[in-house]
């Protein structure tokens, strides 16, 4: 904390310092930190936090984070914000959904809450964990800057060990959601820019030596007979091995660590295989000294063979739907009930697969998909015209990818890592996204990579240089909506000869239901239904199409859609924003998926 006089002096100097934010952009909270949670017991810090918007970054300039708690009548210097009193907001939440005047707010905001500590346990380490914070989150403890994180949808931890004091501590988070050219995503997206601490915040302790990372998978060699475990220890190496237990498989083995605290072991096992129809999960524990983590892991093999996507040796068709994290009331906050509703609707649609667009969704989504039996495409928001020439942008994108993979790579349901969506075909973009695809493979050799790629509309052919560097070609096509001529879609089918699977990662049309929508023509429910009928009739002819995730399950909020029918929403949802009212196209797609599930789907077999 700073004395009043120091704050007063600084307030004057701060008027002439436009580099005030540089010391707080270390991006020191990243995937090198603790990402894997492994069922650790934690104390929730959800609930009311003091909150204030700070459009001009006055808080960083005037060092509000360094103010001492003090009653107004005791203050001898005028002040512009008091972190310890004023408005409060519930965490998790998006401020846009809390007050009309905050709806379009973009900039810095301040969240403050106390953290009371009974005693400082010398043998323990203490971490603060944020499920996500949109977008730049600077953390302060008792007036000291302890790091910042970039990225709106991935978890991060900040270690408080040695910085906490007995009794009352103060945590402050300066959360900034400003859209900029060099962020990921950049300043133009087709989804609402929700800011805030919108996922859970918690605090937990570990022993000095902790299990930092744990990855357990079926060795993808087609024998279904070996598992591989990769473990990383952080802290003093007090023992030479970690203990790995999978009771249902009779596995109880010691895994030797190398001198850096890492271990990798392959061992024989014959698990029942996970798949959507039989989502078998195994309880696993890893023990190292005093530390123990656990997980529930499914074992399966996903691969591509030519233009087929193959799960456990069987080719399959991905009957999917795309989803955003968006709620008319909650904004980007996800609840377990919201997720169960999403999966219930997907099941009703006949899905075995969902595309979690365009950013990492809440970690509970993949955990539930593991339990319920859905396959997932997970994605980082390398969306549209990212600043592909900028190394800092690449560092941000790669960090978000690594945080997503380290968070979810024990989730059997996740089968595809997507490194982007609809990006311009430039050399810089190719290098940027190839680098991301290579990073994904390096961190996780067991899954497929993809991206929503490009079409050469002049030649009516699937053509994207990135395709050679990913396993599955994602194809966003909107014939019947943005592109007029359906015959061109059929032509693409004839003119393209991909050597790997194609998944229609998006297709669809807006349809505004009820009296708010037109009775015919664009934006009418009937026109949307007609587009689905024509799309299905055409797509079912394309033998190399091995899945689809039409855009999108629910109508969703977005600033850039303001015509008389949109009113700040994208209405391509098969279900309206109430997440109840189904449109005609829902039933058309459900009928097609029923046919596919019954084996009549594509009328043209692969040649």
What residues make contact with ligand GCU under the rule CB under 6 A?
A: 190, 358, 421-422, 476, 506, 551, 570, 572
What phi and psi, each to the nearest 5 degrees, are found at residue 546?
Answer: -115, 15
Q: Which is nearer to ligand GCU, 190 or 291 (CB)?
A: 190
* Tokens matching residue 584: 């005609």
How far apart (Å, rounded) are the C-alpha atoms in residues 207 and 290?
Answer: 6
CB of 336 to ligand GCU, least distance (A): 25
Nearer to ligand GCU, 485 or 591 (CB): 485
Q: How far is CA 6 from CA 15, 52, 74, 142, 144, in A?
A: 15, 23, 17, 16, 15
Q: CB of residue 590 vs ligand GCU: minimum separation in angstroms?
A: 21
In contact, 593 and 319? CB cutoff 8 Å: yes
DSSP code, position 562: -
Structure tokens at 139: 């953390």
Those residues with Cβ within 8 angstroms of residue 245's Cβ, 6 or more apart along the chain or in another chain: 251, 252, 284, 285, 286, 287
Of 365 and 382, CB closest to ligand GCU: 382
Using alpha carbons only, give the angle 393, 417, 556 rounded to the nearest 5 degrees. Answer: 80
How near is the Cβ of 476 to ligand GCU at its closest, in Å? 4
> In the bound complex, what is the minimum distance in angstroms from residue 190's beta carbon to ligand GCU?
4
Q: Which is nearer to ligand GCU, 54 or 379 (CB)?
A: 379
Q: Report, in Å, the least distance between residue 357 CB and ligand GCU.
A: 6
Whether 87 contacts 52, CB under 8 Å:
yes
* Closer residue to ligand GCU in complex, CB, 113/355: 355
Q: Which is nearer to ligand GCU, 421 or 439 (CB)?
A: 421
Closest approach of Cβ 322 to ligand GCU, in Å? 8
Q: Do 309 and 546 contact (CB within 8 A), yes or no?
A: yes
Q: What minimum distance in Å lies between the beta carbon of 556 and ligand GCU?
A: 8
Nearer Cβ to ligand GCU (61/571): 571
Give the closest residue to 136 by CA, choosing from 89, 183, 96.
183
Query: Residue 309 contacts by C-beta under 8 Å, 6 or more apart in sequence?
Result: 302, 303, 315, 316, 318, 448, 472, 501, 503, 546, 547
Beta carbon of residue 105, minimum distance to ligand GCU (angstroms, whole number): 23
E-assigned strand segments in 412-520: 414-421, 448-453, 455-456, 461-462, 472-476, 502-506, 511-512
**Closest residue by beta carbon to ligand GCU:** 190
Q: Please, which residue, 403 or 422, has the CB nearer to ligand GCU?
A: 422
Contact (CB, 8 A) for 404 and 380 = yes
Alpha helices of 14-111 — where are they, by DSSP H? 58-62
List the beta bridge partners of residue 426.
none
Report in angstroms how near the CB of residue 486 gets to ligand GCU at its nearest.
17
Give the shortest CB-321-to-ligand GCU separation in angstroms: 14
For residues 556 and 241, give the distance between their C-alpha atoms in angstroms, rounded to a whole number.
49
Query: Which residue lies nearer to ligand GCU by CB, 538 or 570?
Result: 570
Q: Is the Cβ of residue 370 or residue 525 nearer to ligand GCU in the bound state?
A: 525
Contact 467, 304 (CB under 8 A): no
């Amino acid at each position: 904390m700073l004395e009043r006089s120091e704050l007063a002096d600084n307030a004057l100097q701060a008027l002439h310092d436009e580099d005030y934010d540089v010391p707080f952009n270390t991006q020191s909270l990243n995937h090198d930190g603790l990402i894997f949670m492994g069922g650790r017991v934690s104390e929730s810090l959800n609930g009311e936090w003091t909150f204030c918007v700070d459009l001009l970054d006055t808080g960083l300039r005037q060092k509000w984070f360094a103010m001492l708690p003090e009653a107004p009548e005791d203050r001898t210097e005028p002040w512009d914000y008091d972190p310890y009193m004023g408005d409060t907001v519930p965490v998790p939440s998006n401020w846009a959904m809390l007050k009309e005047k905050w709806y379009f707010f973009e900039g810095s905001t301040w969240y403050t809450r106390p953290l009371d500590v009974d005693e400082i346990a010398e043998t323990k380490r203490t971490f603060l964990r944020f499920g996500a914070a949109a977008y730049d989150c600077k953390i302060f403890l008792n007036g000291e800057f302890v790091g910042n994180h970039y990225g709106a949808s991935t978890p991060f931890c900040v270690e408080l060990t040695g910085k906490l004091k007995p009794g009352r501590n103060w945590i402050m988070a300066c959360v900034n959601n400003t859209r900029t050219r060099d962020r990921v995503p950049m300043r133009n997206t087709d989804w609402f820019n929700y800011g805030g601490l919108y996922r859970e915040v918690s605090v937990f302790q570990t022993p000095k030596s902790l299990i930092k990372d744990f990855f357990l998978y079926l060795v993808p060699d087609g024998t279904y007979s070996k598992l591989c475990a990769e473990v990383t220890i952080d802290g003093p190496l007090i023992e030479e091995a970690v203990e790995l237990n999978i009771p249902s498989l009779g596995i109880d083995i010691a895994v030797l660590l190398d001198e850096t605290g890492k271990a990798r072991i392959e061992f024989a096992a014959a698990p029942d295989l996970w798949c959507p129809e039989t989502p078998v999960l195994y309880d696993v524990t890893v023990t190292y000294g005093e530390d123990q983590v656990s997980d529930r892991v499914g074992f399966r093999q996903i691969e591509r063979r030519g233009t087929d996507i193959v799960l456990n040796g069987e080719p399959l068709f991905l009957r999917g739907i795309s989803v955003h994290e968006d709620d008319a009331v909650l904004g980007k906050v996800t609840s377990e009930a919201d997720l169960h509703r999403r999966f219930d609707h997907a099941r009703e649609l006949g899905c075995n697969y969902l595309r979690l667009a365009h950013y990492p969704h809440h970690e509970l989504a993949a955990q539930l998909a593991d339990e319920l039996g859905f396959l997932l495409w997970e994605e980082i928001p390398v969306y549209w015209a990212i600043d592909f020439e900028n190394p800092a942008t690449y560092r941000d994108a790669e960090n978000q990818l690594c945080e997503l993979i380290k968070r979810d790579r024990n989730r059997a349901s996740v089968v595809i890592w997507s490194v982007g969506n609809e990006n311009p075909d430039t050399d810089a973009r190719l290098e940027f996204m190839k680098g991301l695809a290579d990073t994904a493979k390096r961190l996780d050799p067991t899954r497929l990579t993809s991206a929503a790629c490009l079409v050469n509309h002049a030649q009516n052919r699937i053509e994207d240089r990135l395709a050679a560097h990913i396993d599955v070609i994602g194809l966003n096509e909107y014939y019947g909506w943005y592109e007029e001529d359906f015959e061109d879609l059929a032509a693409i089918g004839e003119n393209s000869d991909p050597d790997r699977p194609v998944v229609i990662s998006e297709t669809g049309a807006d349809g505004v239901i009820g009296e708010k929508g037109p009775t015919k023509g664009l934006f009418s429910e009937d026109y949307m239904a007609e587009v689905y009928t024509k799309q299905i009739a055409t797509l079912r002819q394309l033998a190399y199409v091995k899945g689809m995730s039409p855009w999108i399950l629910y109508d969703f909020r977005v600033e850039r859609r303001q015509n008389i029918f949109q009113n700040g929403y994208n209405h391509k949802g098969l279900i309206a924003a109430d997440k109840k009212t189904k449109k005609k196209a829902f039933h058309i797609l459900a009928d097609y998926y029923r046919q596919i599930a019954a084996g009549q789907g594509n009328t043209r077999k692969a040649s």
